[in-house]
Amino acid sequence: MARLLQFFSILSLGALFCGVCGAQDLHAPSNVTAGEDVALPTSGSGKATFYLAGPGISQKNDVTLGEEIRLSGQDLRYAGDYTAILCSDTCHTATFYVTAAKPASVIFLVHPSRVPVGQNDAVSGVAFPFDQYRNLITVPENVNFQLSAKDASLWPRSIRTQNGVAWFRANSGKSAGPVQAVASLDDLSAKRAVQQVASDPCNLRITGQRTPNGILVQTEPVHDCAGNVVPDGTIVTFTATGPNGKGTVDAPVKQGIARAKIESPGTSVISVASGVVMGNEIRLGAQP
């Protein structure tokens, strides 16, 4: 901690005396790319002390005035602001900015992992380009997004990054099944998977019959409005209304069909619903 305070004290002195430096001078580079070697020209003669502070680095070296100060790419691998200070009789300060190198990877996130079919703006994705040193690339880049299912393109789009990020929203498709989402930049790409599942049941139909133990009722194969079979576990509610009142039974869909047994000895009206979707009604006579 003491060395760190001493170092920043020198930074402050450099800022104080940089306007009166004459014996030596330090020139900052105009363009620096992360990971590249850089030479800082100096003027004057004699020995001096050089300080460098920036993202992830703080160092001190003895240098000779009038010679170039060479900084390795390893010292400048992180993008951001750097401060260079050259001190002899007085101190001179120079600042420069290191920009990210060329894209080396794309981070791609997609939400959600499961989505019902036929939903507006249901799928969202975001992509971040990084260079090999994990610097976020903030200059605009074109990212190509592609959603496809069974080798059929569902949603291609090219979007330009803003401040290092490109994003999209898309509607889910009409068919249940896996969808591959790809974000690509030049020859780089990242893939994610989204599982499209059936939406709410649609056009519920039931049949029923009397048995010695009551009423056996079942649905026809349950589909959504796009024709996809709803997933097992979807709850279907059967309601029986008879002389003794009303009763309900919740039954899960298994292999596309929901079944239930209802005890209602008198003439009964059976209806069906799943969520907010209503189905048909059937009337069965009293138990013989």
Taking 60 as the threshold, does the pLDDT of residue 259 lie above it?
Answer: yes
Please check whether residues 117 and 48 belong to one and the same domain. Answer: no
Q: Which of 174, 197, 220 is the last residue of a domain?
A: 197
Please check whether residues 87 and 112 belong to one and the same domain. Answer: no
Please check whether residues 193 and 258 belong to one and the same domain. Answer: no
Please check whether residues 85 and 130 belong to one and the same domain. Answer: no
Please check whether residues 36 and 116 belong to one and the same domain. Answer: no
Taking 90 as the threshold, does the pLDDT of residue 170 lie above it?
Answer: yes
pLDDT over 90 percentage in the chain? 70
Taking 90 as the threshold, does the pLDDT of residue 249 lie above it?
Answer: yes
**Residue 114 to residues 122, 179, 196, 235, 238: CA-CA distances in angstroms?**
10, 10, 6, 18, 28
Cα separation, 46 vs 65, whole angstroms: 5
Cα separation, 125 vs 108, whole angstroms: 7
- Antiparallel, parallel or unpaired: β 57-64 and 38-40: unpaired
CATH number of the domain within which 246 lies: 2.60.40.1930
Please check whether residues 79 and 62 belong to one and the same domain. Answer: yes
Q: What is the mean pLDDT of residues 18-44?
A: 79
Q: What is the pLDDT of residues 218-235, one digit of tens each?
A: 999 999 988 999 989 999
Please check whether residues 143 and 208 belong to one and the same domain. Answer: no
pLDDT of residue 56: 86
CATH number of the domain within which 90 lies: 2.60.40
Q: Which of 53, 71, 99 is the last residue of a domain?
A: 99
pLDDT of residue 151: 72
Structure confidence at residue 21 as a pLDDT band (50, 70, 90): very low
Taking 70 as the threshold, does the pLDDT of residue 288 lie above it?
Answer: no
Taking 50 as the threshold, does the pLDDT of residue 258 lie above it?
Answer: yes
Q: What is the pLDDT of residues 71-81, one digit of tens each?
A: 999 999 999 99
pLDDT of residue 31: 86
Higher-confidence position of 242 and 131: 131
Q: What is the mean pLDDT of residues 2-25?
A: 46
Number of folded domains that form the chain:
3
Q: What is the mean pLDDT of residues 265-279?
A: 89
What is the reported pTM?
0.74
Q: What is the mean pLDDT of residues 18-25?
A: 50
Can you read off the two tokens belonging to residue 261? 């047994």
**Residue 11 to residues 8, 92, 207: CA-CA distances in angstroms?**
5, 10, 85
Structural domain harbouring 76: 2-99
Please check whether residues 144 and 191 belong to one and the same domain. Answer: yes
For the stretch 133-137, contacts whose Cβ atoms lie closer than 8 Å and that sit 24 or more positions apart, written own/partner, are 133/34, 133/35, 133/77, 133/78, 133/79, 133/100, 133/101, 135/34, 135/78, 135/79, 135/100, 135/101, 136/79, 136/100, 136/164, 137/100, 137/103, 137/161, 137/164
Please check whether residues 220 and 182 belong to one and the same domain. Answer: no
Q: In whole angstroms, what separates CA 48 from the centre of its chain?
A: 49
Residues 6+ apart with CB under 8 A from 152: none
pLDDT of residue 171: 92
Tell me which DSSP letter residue 3 carries.
H
| Alpha helices by DSSP H, the chain | 2-17
Please check whether residues 25 and 83 belong to one and the same domain. Answer: yes
Q: Which of 82, 99, 116 is the last residue of a domain?
A: 99
Please check whether residues 139 and 216 belong to one and the same domain. Answer: no
